[in-house]
Structure 1
Amino acid sequence: MHLKTLKIKGYKAFSGEFTVKLNNGLNILVGENATGKSTIIDALRLILSEDEYGRGGITASDFHKPLHLSTKTKGAPRISIACEFDNLNDDEQVVYLPWLNLNDPKKAILSLAIENKEDNRGRFKRKIWGNESESGLFEWELLNRINCIYLPPLRDAEDKLKAYKGSRLSRLLKNLRIQDESDEMHPLEKKFAMLNKDLLNDSSIQIANSYIKDNILKAVGPVFGQDASLQFTEINFDRIVERIRLLFYPVIPGAGSTNSVDMFRELSENSLGFNNILYLATILAEFDGTETTDTFHKILLIEEPEAHLHPQLQIRLMHYLQQRSIENKIQIIVTTHSTTLASSVDLNAIKVLSATKDSSMPIFTAVEECCLPSPTKDFLERWLDITKSTLLFAKGVLLVEGIAEAMLIKQLSKTVLRELMAENPEKHYCDTLDDYGISIINLNGLYFNHFMALFKGYHRKSEDVFAGCSGIPVRCAGLTDNDPDKEGRPTQSSPLIGKNHQLYLVQELEDNSINCRLFTNLKTFEYDLALEGTNLSLMCDVQLKLMETDGTIKSQLQTYIDNDWEAATPEEKADAAFWLLNRIDKGVFAQALTQYLVKSQTEFQVPLYIKKAIKWLVD
């Protein structure tokens, strides 16, 4: 069995019913801040009665309240949380009979309702039941057979691994003790009892005992006096393990390990990142140590496992968690803001939460429901690296072909946004794409069809392969070159047919997609830049500064710098743009041009296709 669906209503950010779909094994919840990732974890902890210290609570602020209402306004009348478990085998169907779905015995349902009414103790009335009917039966024993453990965000691993009552280590050891229940004293208890006897024979202890007894006798006399004895007070197993702490040994590659106890060090001497790894190790050990025939499902909830870990450790950790989820049948649900983690797991594990203006609640998208064709999924698995995976966290995405566009578009977009602001002052445009939360993704090639498959959101009237498919509900624009014949010199009045094999997407997306658009130019990015206004003079000046030797090329560049391009014909501009295009190193030139525009604040004309893309993204 595994948790397949979680439904939440009236809890924190979720006003109406919000559905989370989970797969068996590893699940990664990604998205921008305030989209409800932690709320999903909190909802699971509520219904599964898990929290770090065995306590759970609800406050008045947990009941959903629209932001436009006063803080004095009462929240939603009820919090509803429901879990649907799937793929129950025959044994699990027998055990969880009170929870079974009446129409499908392989499914079990657990529901929780909390009324927004406080009793005289300030507690909110709650009810938990199995199956679909609110009158369904509930037994705590069945819930206890689901082993759910939670790791909080921004955790203080050092503190959690200290010796104290209720510590993670003591919980682990007590659980292991329960597995080995017997009436006999535990070996540790026997050893501490023997130690107490030995203490009484120690001269220092005997002298101290004598002094204490003598002072008691002198203070209150023989009638009111009491006897006393120094010894270890904790000889009970539970009390002993509460005094155990975790130490570490800094294993250096090639240096091996040590068995010498005095070589181990306090966690305060360790790094925060490695302490987090040690903390996670104790959590996984709890699953190992508490595994019994009564455990039917294991769920591990982790918030922000990337805390204090460098990228390589993040990747190793995530691969290990994915492996453990399969080998030990643990359903792991992780929230993260790390693009490193998002890019290092199977795409089917990724669940995206998006905040949109058109919806009062976040929107949940399971990537496995985006109907990605096998070639596209395989491609994205290989190419969705740390840089590109930022698209999973963005409010908007701009896909570009190469490094030149990636560097320059960010600067050119500022010009476009200033123009839009001047034309439409009532719309209050932002200054940069960053302000909109829009990520520029360099595809290093023509892979728009693969990346846009994540966003397509096709809505066709006729039945087709995209019917019922999901898509990340944010806008995604692409900028691609038309790429006509290599010797072609197109102009606005005389365009040429392009050979770019992705051009079919331009019309297809416009006809069928609500989320994606592809915009194209006359020839190439640099060529089209050169055709605009007097850009040629500035671009030739930038290229001239990159030249190290004199010659005819420098001479020609100077001629173009001095030319009056406002009076030039489109054909003359096309010839000059073609000449320049064939004499630049695109990456080096883009970097130099970007630096020049940033430092000089010079106005630079932006091609129409780029303007359309940015306007479509930000409107």
Structure 2
Amino acid sequence: MYLHRLKMENFRRYEQLDVEFNSGLNLLVGENDSGKTAIVDAIKYVLNTQSYEYLRPCVEDFYLDQSKDDSHRASVFRVECTFKGFDKHSAKHFIDWLGTDKEKNFFLKVWISATRKNGRVFYDVKAGSDEEGTTINGEARDLLRATYLKPLRDAESELTPKKGSRLSQILYNHDVFEDEENHRLLRIMSLTNKAIEKFFTAHDGKELLLDINTYLDEFSLESNKLNSRFNVSDSSLKSVLEKLSLRLFNQSVSESTNQGLGSHNLLYIAAELLLLKKSNYQGLKLGLIEEIEAHLHPQTQIRLIEAIQKICEENRIQFILTTHSTSLASKVKLKNLVLCKDGCLYPMGKEYTKLREGDYLFLERFLDSTKSNLFFANGVILVEGDAENILLPSFAKKIGRDLSQHSVSIVNVGSTAFLRYSNIFLRQDEKKLILDVSLITDVDVRPFIHENKQTKNKKDSNENVLKDEDGKTIKVEMTEVEVEEVRINTAQGIRDKYEAPVTAFVAPYWTLEYSIARSCLSELFHQAVYICHKTKSKDYVYGKEEKVTLIEKAKVEYKKWKDEDNLSVDEIAYNIYKKIMLDKKISKAVVAQVFADFIIDADFEGVEADENLSYLVSAIKNVTGK
């Protein structure tokens, strides 16, 4: 059996919540304070944990609208878990509370309902197939306990010998240790105790024990004479298990080693899995792990999550994990992701989204750790290349819209693959995912600039010919109004073709670089391009003094274009982008990096009103608050 559905009313940040889980792996992703921990705690309240920790609802668990004061806090909350996947062996333990669905399959609903009054919290746990239910007994509830790993784990401490150690709890609850009275470990420990006692009574330790008992005899009253002896543990199995430790060994040298927090965390997780892999266990096999990536570097995170996916599939174990790791989010199958955002949960399985089969396969191949940060963002900007990815953060800062402060992620999807990514946010269910997404793309209508100025003014020169990227003529004498129509149709086509919940922002002229080269930042952009052109042979490496010299030479060249050659805005932009960047094969990414540095100290007055740059400004404002 597995946890199929979770419903909550007035619990923590969730006024209403209804979400379904996979029977295997479920990875909850989302930004801080998105409600991931609330989900885990709600499940713990209903089920309790294998560590038998003390769990009791408190006043802060009752829903409160963040815009209101505490007098508006809810007075009741309810958390309901529905279980499915019963076989005849597991079903028999819950026969008094089971129901059947339309397909005649068993289901079990268990819920906690709590009220608060005069600063005190009262709660009941019930189960049943109807809304009334009855109290579920201790034996049945014990079979529903979940294995839980808290986020701030002191793995080394939990696995060392001490009273009530987590290791002893894990072992004590395993079916290998069911026979408490006649377990083999008791006989082993009895022999050990006898050997230790003999050492302190007949061998080297005899004098030590004699001295201790002599002091005790002098300290104690005649009516209560005290004596002592050395041993490892008393005669109970629980005491024996509390003396055990679990330590890491290096297989290559066959000896114990001093490992870090990450390695001990892996050992701790491996130990906890013992409770989920009991061979004859007929209860719930559910693991709750918060921030599974704790203390682990990215490569270990990936290996761990791949192993857990395999364990889920092979052993019919269910996991509900939370993470802030983009590495984990990129490696888990999309169907196993659950996005937490704005007080709602959005499963990413095929039955919940409008992603097509091909989209899932594509995203599983190309959703890397860089692109998966869109699951943790308040806003997303989809771009088609490295230049936009590098340039936009600096550009946004200069217009007072720092992307980091607004939790906006830039996702470089390459080419037109943004259509795949944007469909992630489309839902088949009634849950509307509220997330601002801007798409920045080029219009890709190439202007034809005459390089032979002698024929430029001839009537048949076709000065306004526009060509596509393959050089094919689109139209002769296309007006600016018609170019704008191309832009509008491009944006509308993006929305219509895939119903993508994005706002498209299309470059007004040709490409990003060409539009910048036409703008009020034209001369600054030319300086960046000039530096990259002159240092290309040195792998774009230059010093401070060389930078100053190159900037001065760039200024001279730009002034000549304007004052002596009388070039138009388009002709200057063409020189910068086509004749230098494209013809000389200058890296767009490097130019963007150099230009981004120039932007930091640049005068940005007039940028927002510039028709060449307004689409970038609007795209940034769309995801940072209009």
TM-score range, shorter chain: 0.7 to 0.9
2:125 corresponds to 1:127: yes
Distance 1:407 1:492, change over 3 A: farther
Q: Deviations over 1:177-224 (max 9, x none)?
A: 665426436323432453355246424544345445545555667x53
Equivalent pair of 1:99/1:137 in contact (CA under 8 Å): no
Alignment pair present for 1:42 and 2:41: yes
**Partner residue, 1:354:** 341
Displacement of 1:235 in angstroms is: 3.2
Tell me the equivalent position of 2:259. 270
Deviation at 1:469, TM superposition (A): 6.7
Secondary structure of 2:420's counterpart equals: helix
Q: Which residue of 2 aligns with 1:474?
A: 435
Q: Which moved more, 1:380-389 or 1:405-414?
A: 405-414
Cα 1:54–1:204 change in 2 (3 A) is same
Is the contact between residue 189 and residue 236 of structure 1 (CA under 8 Å) also seen in structure 2?
no
- The equivalent of 2:57 in structure 1 is 58
Paired letter, 1:41: V
Alignment identity in percent? 26
Asked whether the 8 Å contact 1:456–1:516 carries over to 2, the reply is no
Helix, strand or coil for the counterpart of 1:154?
Answer: coil
> Map of 1:378-393 to 2, 5 A cutoff?
378-393=361-376
Whether contact under 8 Å (2:8, 2:18) holds in the other structure is: yes
Q: 1:536 aligns with which of 506, 512, 522?
A: 522
Question: Partner of 1:358 in structure 2?
Answer: none
In the alignment, is residue 30 of structure 1 matched against residue 29 of structure 2?
A: yes
Render the CA deviation track for 1:54-77: whole Å, top value 9, x for unaligned. Answer: 321222222222334434x37322
Alignment of 1:230-245 (within 5 A): 230-232=229-231, 234-245=234-245
The one-letter code matched in structure 1 to 2:326 is T
- In 2, Cα distance between equivalents of 1:63 and 1:245: 40
User: How far apart are the structure 2 equivalents of 1:145 and 1:438?
Assistant: 44
Note the 1:250-289 alignment, pairs <5 A: 250-251=250-251, 256-258=252-254, 263-265=255-257, 269-288=258-277
Deviation at 1:29, TM superposition (A): 0.3
2:29–2:376 CA contact under 8 A, matched in 1: yes
Q: Is the 8 A contact 2:287 2:319 kept in 1?
A: yes
The answer to whether the Cα contact below 8 Å between 2:491 and 2:505 also exists between their aligned partners in 1 is no
User: What code does the residue aligned with 2:402 have?
Assistant: T
Aligned to 1:313: 300
Q: Answer whether contact 2:381 2:409 (CA < 8 A) is retained.
A: yes
Question: Conserved in 1, the CA contact under 8 Å of 2:8 and 2:14?
Answer: yes
Contact map agreement 2:171 2:177 (CA 8 A) in 1: no
C-alpha separation between the residues in 1 aligned to 2:392 and 2:210?
85
**Structure 1 counterpart of 2:345, one-letter code:** F
**Farther-moved stretch of structure 1 (135-144 vs 376-385):** 135-144
Indicate if the aligned counterparts of 1:527 and 1:581 stay in contact, CA closer than 8 A. no
Distance 1:128 1:374 in 2: 41
Distance (Å, rounded) in 2 between the aligned partners of 1:274 and 1:182: 32
Residue aligning to 2:74:
76
Retained in 2: the 8 A contact 1:544–1:557?
A: no
What is the Cα deviation at residue 108 of structure 1? 1.8
SS in structure 2 of the partner of residue 108 of structure 1 = strand
Read off the aligned partner of 2:534 and give its amino acid letter. Answer: E
Cα distance change of structure 1 residues 307 and 616 upon mapping to structure 2, 3 Å threshold: same
Question: Cα gap change, 1:299/1:615 in structure 2, threshold over 3 Å: closer, same or farther?
Answer: same
Please give the alpha-carbon distance, in whole angstroms, between the structure 2 residues aligned to 1:272 and 1:556: 54
Q: Secondary structure at the match of 1:612?
A: helix
Post-superposition shift, 1:571? 4.8
1:450 and 2:439 matched? no
What SS does the corresponding residue of 2:167 show, helix, strand or coil? helix
| Matched position secondary structure for 1:435 | coil
**1:328-384: CA deviations, max 9, x gaps?**
1110010000000000110001000112xxxxxx12111111121011111111111
Amino acid at match of 2:241: V
Offset at residue 112 of structure 1 (A): 1.2
Candidates 136, 139, 142, aligned match of 2:137: 139
2:332 maps to which residue?
Answer: 345
2:182 aligned counterpart, secondary structure: coil
Change in CA separation of 1:225 and 1:206 when aligned onto 2, cut-off 3 Å: farther
CA contact (8 A) 2:384 2:441 kept: yes
- 2:405 maps to 1:435: yes
SS in 1 for 2:117: strand
- TM norm structure 2: 0.82
How big is each residue's C-alpha offset from its partner over 1:278-298, in whole Å with a ceiling of 9 and x where there is no partner?
11111112323x442x42330
Supply the distance in 2 between the matched residues of 1:215 and 1:118 (Cα, whole angstroms): 57
Tell me, in whole angstroms, the C-alpha distance in 2 between the residues paired with 1:351 and 1:217: 67
Find the aligned partners of 2:274 and 2:319 in 1 and give their Cα distance.
15
Q: Which amino acid aligns with 1:279?
A: Y
The verdict on how the C-alpha distance between 1:561 and 1:47 changes in structure 2, with shifts beyond 3 A counting, is: farther
Determine the structure 2 residue equivalent to 1:363: 344
Separation in 2 of the partners of 1:46 and 1:6? Answer: 12
1:200 to 1:544, Cα distance in 2 relative to 1, 3 A = closer
**Change in CA separation of 1:475 and 1:511 when aligned onto 2, cut-off 3 Å:** farther
Equivalent residue for 2:619, pick from 609, 613, 617: 613
Whole-angstrom distance in 2 between the partners of 1:443 and 1:170: 49
- In the TM superposition, 1:475-494 aligns within 5 A as 475-484=436-445, 485-486=468-469, 487=471, 492-493=480-481
Distance in 2, Cα, partners of 1:137 & 1:124: 15
Q: Which amino acid aligns with 1:592?
A: V
Q: Deviations over 1:427-462 (max 9, x none)?
A: xxxx312221111111122112101101245xxxxx
Deviation at 1:123, TM superposition (A): 5.6
Distance 1:278 1:555, change over 3 A: closer
Instruction: Give how far 1:140 is off.
Output: 2.5
Task: Indicate if the aligned counterparts of 1:537 and 1:561 stay in contact, CA closer than 8 A.
Answer: no
* Secondary structure of 1:146 counterpart: coil
What do the CA deviations read for 1:76-126 (whole angstroms, capped 9, x no partner)? 22120101112333444444333323544432211111121379xx66332
Q: Would you say the 8 A contact 2:330–2:368 is kept in 1?
A: yes
Whole-angstrom CA distance in 2 between matches of 1:591 and 1:206? 78
The SS at the match of 2:8 is strand
Amino acid at match of 2:502: C
Q: 2-side partners of 1:150 and 1:503: how far apart?
A: 53
Q: CA 1:547/1:371 → structure 2, altered by over 3 Å: closer, same or farther? A: closer
Compute the RMSD of aligned alpha carbons. 3.2
Letter in 1 for 2:266: I
Instruction: Give the 3 Å change call, closer, same or farther, for CA 53–599 of structure 1 in structure 2.
Output: farther
Of 502, 505, 513, 1:516 maps to 502
Q: Distance in 1 between matches of 2:489 and 2:99?
A: 49
- Matched with 1:154 is 152
Q: SS of the residue aligned with 1:107?
A: strand
Q: In structure 1, how many angstroms separate the alpha carbons of the residues matched to 2:72 and 2:574?
A: 70
Q: Is residue 2:282 matched to residue 1:295?
A: yes
What is the rounded CA distance, in whole Å, between the counterparts of 2:132 and 2:164 in structure 1?
35
1: distance between equivalents of 2:570 and 2:66?
A: 57
Q: 1:594: how far off?
A: 1.2
Conserved? CA contact 2:59–2:121, under 8 Å: no
CA distance in 2, matches of 1:229, 1:207: 13
AA of the residue aligned to 1:354: K
Residues 178 and 89 (structure 1), Cα distance of their counterparts in 2 relative to 1, 3 Å cut: closer
Q: Is it true that 1:407 corresponds to 2:409 in the alignment?
A: no
Letter in 2 for 1:112: I
Structure 2 residue matching 1:83: 3-state secondary structure: strand
Gaps of 5+ in 1: 356-361, 419-430, 458-466
State whether residues 411 and 598 of structure 1, in contact with CA within 8 Å, keep that contact through their aligned partners in structure 2: yes
1:518–1:324 CA distance, 2 compared to 1 (3 A) = same
Aligned positions, number = 566
Q: Which deviates more, 150-159 or 294-303? A: 294-303
Pick aligned residue for 1:87 from 85, 88, 91: 85
Match of 1:460 in 2: none
Letter of the 2:268 partner, please give it.
Y
Does structure 2 conserve the Cα–Cα contact (< 8 Å) formed by 1:347 and 1:367?
yes
- Gapped regions of structure 2 (runs ≥ 5): 446-467, 537-551
The residue number in structure 2 matching 1:98 is 96
The answer to whether the 8 A contact 1:83-1:109 is kept is: yes
Scaled by the length of structure 1, the TM-score of the pair is 0.83
The residue that corresponds to 1:166 in the other structure is 164
